[in-house]
Chains A and B, each alone.
Chain A
């Protein structure tokens, strides 16, 4: 088995603070009547009248068929684009652009990593201006490398690593910026089944440890249910929310028992039917 299948060692190095917590109950993100139309205003909207909250500390899965605007939604949360109409608030303030409080894990890790920097160098990128002391920075990078099980790859370049390892590097780089919320755009979509399961479990452990709010986008129903506290289902043309599910499966989740849980199967059945209808 490759390094990609290693478990996260807990706890490794100094804990990574996840910023100041909001008072319990207040939403991390609130989305109100958001619509997005590309090009002319007469065009069909990509997203239409989306309204929901992302709760502080929750793991929210958003699942939907391709072309339903999932990625667009995540880019709105990140501040990489603005909605055509409607409002998005983070922490009670409108999202006006990217912020280090919100980290995004892109699906295409090959493009998102700097190929000329080593694993350690890629992680350090998000710390260089904010942690000027070389020693302190190195210590933080080393802690993240240990946390993500990347010890043996620290001095390698991204192209020398497997896909799963590269995605670990991207996640580590996002953790380095100590975000309040982690936005993940089909992060495991390009990985093989085994690597994907290992990363799913590592991610759940990480989320539980840091109690970081996570929005996870996927087109894989089972992945959405397995990871999420809640699942939003988006329909396509135009992209809109067609269902909300409280998952309610016990934690920690387990690749075998969770997936065999009748509740899991019921959710899967229900979502499958919804997606078939579209």
Chain B
């Protein structure tokens, strides 16, 4: 209990200190409340919206959009990563194209995606997936490309089929890299969910923040930001827990 307290207390105090500073800046009127609401107002706004339900609809919409795009990116990233990492011929075939696509900012794909799909969920899914595939893809290529040679030999000696090798050896072996990539991809997908909402007026937290800014409702704007931050924390933590469970075979680090 004492150890938990010692671990949790300093970072908590630091965050509270920042909020207190923010409150002080507002109390002293160093910044106009039109631009910067006091934390009491921002959190108050969040509270009211949580109670009257107007928080949940955009939160759900943003979360769904982000998770869908991320899921598609992860699926495609792992599949492509396996193909590239395990077969040099595929690597030679695809790598130049991927090197061209990779530096393209995903937000630059929004106009293209709108041309194809209009202001729709498919459009958002495409843009989010396009941006968040790279971390998963890159780490999957690495993970599948570094399956131990010894394990490939073991698989040959035991007469495993190609499919068995993939399921029983290659995927579990690449799993730590896949999961690390998926975690980075999730952060990107949250950013892109917000950006697409702002660009394409899709209902969600990002769009709410955008509207709040347009109409100088600073409390609402900051409430939205706080919610986005919390969303990131919760999802990242959830993934961390899942990762620890999936990789429980790994020796614990001291």
Contact = CB atoms under 8 A, between A and B. Distances in A.
A274 interface: no
Interface in B99-125: none
Contact of B151 (A102, A111, A128, A173): A111
Nearest to A99: B159
Interface stretch (A84-92, A112-120, A236-244, A246-254): A112-120
Contacts of A129: 159-161, 164
Interface stretch (B167-175, B181-189, B224-232, B237-245): B167-175
A176 to B, nearest CB: 9
B249 interface: yes
A157 B150 contact: no
A116 B154 contact: no
B150 A116 contact: no
A67 B154 CA distance: 23
Contacts of B156: 80, 97-98
A116 B156 CA distance: 19
B158 A112 contact: no
Interface string B171-206: 011010000000000000000000000000000000
A116 B164 contact: no
Given A157-B249, A159-B251, A112 B154 contact: yes
B173 to A, nearest CB: 8
A112 B153 CA distance: 9
Contacts of A128: 164, 168
B250 interface: yes
With a 10 A CB-CB cut-off, give which of A108, A116, A126, A157 has the most chain B CB atoms: A116
A110 B200 CA distance: 53
A114 B153 CA distance: 12
A80 B153 CA distance: 7
B64 interface: no
User: Chain B's interface: helix, strand, loop or mixed, by majority?
Assistant: helix
Contacts of A102: 157
Contact of A100 (B154, B158, B249): B158
Contacts of A217: none
Contacts of A116: 172-173, 175, 247, 249
Task: Tell me if A's interface is mostly helix, strand, loop or mixed.
Answer: loop
Contacts of A173: 158
A226 interface: no
A232 interface: no
B249 A125 contact: no
A78 interface: yes
B49 interface: no
A97 B156 CA distance: 9
Nearest to A170: B154
B157 A78 contact: yes
A103 interface: yes
A116 B167 CA distance: 12
A251 B159 CA distance: 35
B29 interface: no
B168 A125 contact: yes
Contacts of B251: 159-160
Contacts of A157: 249
A114 B172 contact: yes
B158 A177 contact: yes
Contacts of A108: 150
Contacts of B154: 106, 112
Contact of A103 (B157, B160, B250): B157
B134 to A, nearest CB: 26
A104 interface: yes
Given A106-B154, A125-B158, 11 more contacts: A98-B157, A100-B158, A108-B150, A111-B148, A114-B172, A116-B175, A117-B172, A129-B159, A157-B249, A159-B249, A159-B251
12 contacts: A78-B157, A98-B153, A104-B153, A104-B157, A106-B153, A106-B154, A108-B150, A115-B249, A116-B249, A117-B249, A129-B164, A159-B251
Interface of B: 148, 150-151, 153-154, 156-161, 164, 168-169, 172-173, 175, 247, 249-251
Nearest 7 A/B pairs, CB to CB: A111-B150, A98-B156, A116-B249, A126-B158, A159-B251, A116-B172, A157-B249
Interface of A: 78, 80, 97-100, 102-104, 106, 108, 111-112, 114-117, 125-126, 128-129, 157, 159-160, 173, 177
